[in-house]
Structure 1
């Protein structure tokens, strides 16, 4: 449902010896020396790289910009191995109230829930088993579903109860754990025991356990606190659990209180701000981190993300080129590809992603990049290729939720609705995020069986509950709200959310959301300029074309409407069960009236 962006994808953290370098084969002047502290943890696609590490240049690899068609040179290998698994450990020492801001972030209960990411670890570490996705005893989701079982006529009351229970379930068992103070007053650097290699291993839970133990004995390790904060950011994003963000914020604040100029914590705060959709702040924090360390991979990536999400595409492209020169690798390559996709340059986007996949060695990177290729293929209506890429992603990590969700979407578009419904049911049973909830609801409506209408309504109600929890934890959920509410909720709420989001950033996604919210509220004349702006960059998105065509039809532009409705169906005929159906109906009406 929500736009595909990189703000929710972490960057992989990989061992120093495996880091790629520019085509010259030599470290860039000014880059950290081999064995030196890592300027910035790499950013996994669905799990960001945590703390400091050493990095060294090895192997001649091409930057993303140098990846030309037919160029036999190998693409640079990824920058960081993914680090986000699913569960959390608890340390034993709790902190007093006065220190909650510094220490209360060392723990949280084990729970998962993110429809765009996997079960045990989000970014690519096939550690879980497929059975874990079954509808088991996930009390968090059970609580939400019980609350949302009634009808929308009790929407206000239900939403309050649903949100409250989801909040309780999300935080159930969460223990505020802190490091025991040892009386030292001199900040220390991260010890070898807290090597980011742990986070890169893909076992985020084990990494957090190790970090908690380390910080109990070394509470003034600013690098350790920064790494812990980044780990929490990844857990929140990959599991769809916004209640982790306050924990991440406290850990990062603790790191900065110990050393205010450490780029790891500044880059971590940039990643946190981006995850909360506070992109203006993310950009400012990324710039601060880069002043301390121009080669901080996480800061470089967060800067690209922020510029993309602020709609500053020219600046984002320049930032991607800079990042590609300084830190070529999977985190940068995937962002470089997305910037080109937003420009309509699908060929370059695909080529860069293919080279990134060739350079990927860890299960996490393979799953992440293959899923991105699957999404790119699905956007172009190439469902067979999309399913092939998703299969490769799931072979690397059978619980990688972006691939599971993408596979279900491609199955539905290919006419395999039963498989798609089953797959999405397994996902939302434990990861009730807006995207898969809306997709499942629409498939229920399209199926039209007994009880399907009520099931669909329940999915849409859960979206409201999730957005309420997200807002309570500092996440700007206006775009999610606008997209879901316009078609399946309160239209006035959709328009209010879309206007609010547009007031902060002008992207193709916010333009499309505002155009559609205006349309469903009967304001087509006002909607048309935004619908045109959403398609102005050349971004190939069937939903955008469909929305524009419908709005053009409503405003008396039949020729333009035919052009864009036909283009939507030609590009991706299965882009949305209700959308594709309505596009065909509208096109037939227009053709009949010619």
Structure 2
């Protein structure tokens, strides 16, 4: 499973400064919502973006030798056209998406229409070009739009908005925290940490900066520092955004019980539909990781009761349905998700569902769309090496997967990059080199069936039969439906090992 993104909700602000709140360590803040989710209607721009991706994928199947750089440029042009259309007009479908990864402004997200908020900011800044606060808010809104709509072409616009804000007021913490969030969205976590620290020097209570700092430390593999940062954030700004980070840090250490307790506390303090959907989805994902599909489906149902169009819950529900044997429900759900936002995670899941049923043509269509998304992301400054390594190792160019995994490991040493490098080495026949990385991926106690499966397969390939049996069995015991293809392959490998005893 790819690293989980910990999104959060708007901060409390007054006159541009974050106000301290009372200390309440990982307990619900009664009567306080973390903020509301932003509406991100689909409209014609979304359809244009998806159509462009699918045209790109079809062309890729006909012309596999087409140079990637040319593909990225063409794709970026096509999708930027779609995003410009989105920025210019208000959609009326009423679709809601994830809560903000951090606050955009005290009021922008609560209006329920991010596109309209952006248009209003653009109009205001034409009249008041020296309003540094509005430039910062516009940058944050672009980051949020990129995240919720899967459209990285907004990131360069966000960067320019933050630069304008900081040129007008170099020490405004909102723009510094916004640059941290932008860097994290582009997977430049060293840069994210740098800007988060700068923002906290100006405003130690900036919720966005506190949360982004935790995220950056997690994604750099500095787990002990991340735990301390989560404690600090919990001291200064307890609430839903911090609770979810706190829970994830504990989950990475294998402390699932504490992670669940904290998330339940967060859910009990959630008020807005966006917060309810977000936290319930996090609980669903935690349950799914432990193989408890019924509980996961219950949490996803609660999320969708709060917001019927919340995409992470729709994706999670489909994944739980697939793991529980409801293939028809899973296919329907995943097709709905990727029709709106063709992102790597659900595309791979849908492709593997098709492939597990023997439909390789439809599966390859989904994998080609992953390549298209990767090209777009890179064209807009996003480091997509981890996404490339994970998808390409099983469904693409194995050598490219290994190059990407090595590059990502050189940048940051996490359990996820260790697993990606181990698996990329394995599919390239380098199992002896892969084994230490597979062990690193499981060293923190993080309960992830895919990691255990990868380790077991690599141990089998290196002649460590007893260890291979242990870890393959552990993967299937933990989460027997962790992957449409991987779970089946794990059972086959374990059966072969048992027969060879």
Q: Tell me the TM-score normalised to structure 1 length.
A: 0.78
Stretches of structure 1 lacking an aligned partner (at least 5 in a row): 17-34, 40-54, 68-73, 89-108, 113-137, 179-193
1:408 matched to which residue of 2?
A: 318
Instruction: Give the 3-state SS of the residue equivalent to 1:574 in structure 2.
Output: coil
Answer whether contact 2:354 2:362 (CA < 8 A) is retained: yes
Answer whether contact 2:20 2:237 (CA < 8 A) is retained: no
Confirm whether residue 111 of structure 1 aligns to residue 49 of structure 2: no
Cα gap change, 1:177 to 1:441, in 2 (>3 Å) = closer
Structure 1 CA distance for aligned equivalents of residues 270 and 113 of structure 2:
18
Matches within 5 A, 1:335-374: 335-374=245-284
Cα gap change, 1:61 to 1:203, in 2 (>3 Å) = farther
1:141 matched to which residue of 2?
A: 50
Confirm whether residue 63 of structure 1 aligns to residue 25 of structure 2: yes
Structure 2 CA distance for aligned equivalents of residues 586 and 322 of structure 1:
45
Structure 1 CA distance for aligned equivalents of residues 123 and 287 of structure 2:
44
Matches within 5 A, 1:280-359: 280-359=190-269
Structure 1 CA distance for aligned equivalents of residues 369 and 31 of structure 2:
40
Matches within 5 A, 1:352-501: 352-448=262-358, 452-501=359-408
Moved more, 454-463 or 156-165: 156-165
Cα gap change, 1:209 to 1:437, in 2 (>3 Å) = same
Cα deviation code 1:356-376 (max 9, x no counterpart): 011000111111111100000
Answer whether contact 1:144 1:165 (CA < 8 A) is retained: no
1:523 to 430, 438, 458: 430
Instruction: Give the 3-state SS of the residue equivalent to 2:257 in structure 1.
Output: helix
Answer whether contact 1:63 1:75 (CA < 8 A) is retained: no
Q: How many residues align?
A: 485
1:3 matched to which residue of 2?
A: 3
Aligned-residue offset at 1:220: 1.1
Answer whether contact 2:274 2:306 (CA < 8 A) is retained: yes
1:85 to 31, 39, 42: 39
Aligned-residue offset at 1:139: 2.6
Cα deviation code 1:33-77 (max 9, x no counterpart): xx45333xxxxxxxxxxxxxxx474xx78321xx4xxxxxx4566
Structure 1 CA distance for aligned equivalents of residues 68 and 55 of structure 2:
11
Cα deviation code 1:230-260 (max 9, x no counterpart): 1110111111100000010011111001001
Cα gap change, 1:561 to 1:76, in 2 (>3 Å) = farther
Q: Say which structure is richer in helix.
A: 2
Stretches of structure 2 lacking an aligned partner (at least 5 in a row): 89-103
Structure 1 CA distance for aligned equivalents of residues 378 and 59 of structure 2:
24
Matches within 5 A, 1:183-222: 196-222=106-132
2:95 matched to which residue of 1?
A: none
Answer whether contact 2:416 2:441 (CA < 8 A) is retained: yes
Cα gap change, 1:590 to 1:466, in 2 (>3 Å) = same
* Larger Rg over CA atoms: 1
Cα gap change, 1:334 to 1:409, in 2 (>3 Å) = same
1:128 matched to which residue of 2?
A: none
Confirm whether residue 508 of structure 1 aligns to residue 423 of structure 2: no
Aligned-residue offset at 1:216: 2.5
Cα gap change, 1:202 to 1:75, in 2 (>3 Å) = same
1:172 matched to which residue of 2?
A: 81
Instruction: Give the 3-state SS of the residue equivalent to 2:308 in structure 1.
Output: coil
2:444 to 537, 544, 553: 537
Structure 2 CA distance for aligned equivalents of residues 393 and 483 of structure 1:
28
Cα gap change, 1:110 to 1:408, in 2 (>3 Å) = same
Structure 2 CA distance for aligned equivalents of residues 353 and 468 of structure 1:
35
1:42 matched to which residue of 2?
A: none
Structure 2 CA distance for aligned equivalents of residues 317 and 78 of structure 1:
24
Answer whether contact 2:139 2:178 (CA < 8 A) is retained: yes
Aligned-residue offset at 1:144: 2.4
1:99 matched to which residue of 2?
A: none
Cα gap change, 1:165 to 1:395, in 2 (>3 Å) = farther
Matches within 5 A, 1:89-100: none
2:187 to 244, 264, 277: 277
Structure 2 CA distance for aligned equivalents of residues 267 and 461 of structure 1:
35
Structure 1 CA distance for aligned equivalents of residues 327 and 87 of structure 2:
45
Aligned-residue offset at 1:145: 1.8
Answer whether contact 1:508 1:535 (CA < 8 A) is retained: yes
Structure 2 CA distance for aligned equivalents of residues 217 and 274 of structure 1:
31
Aligned-residue offset at 1:172: 1.3
Cα gap change, 1:473 to 1:571, in 2 (>3 Å) = same
Answer whether contact 2:37 2:273 (CA < 8 A) is retained: no
2:473 matched to which residue of 1?
A: 566
Answer whether contact 2:221 2:412 (CA < 8 A) is retained: yes
1:240 matched to which residue of 2?
A: 150
Structure 2 CA distance for aligned equivalents of residues 110 and 231 of structure 1:
20
What is the Cα-based RMSD across aligned positions, in Å? 2.2
Answer whether contact 1:78 1:359 (CA < 8 A) is retained: yes
Cα gap change, 1:37 to 1:110, in 2 (>3 Å) = farther
Structure 2 CA distance for aligned equivalents of residues 286 and 151 of structure 1:
40
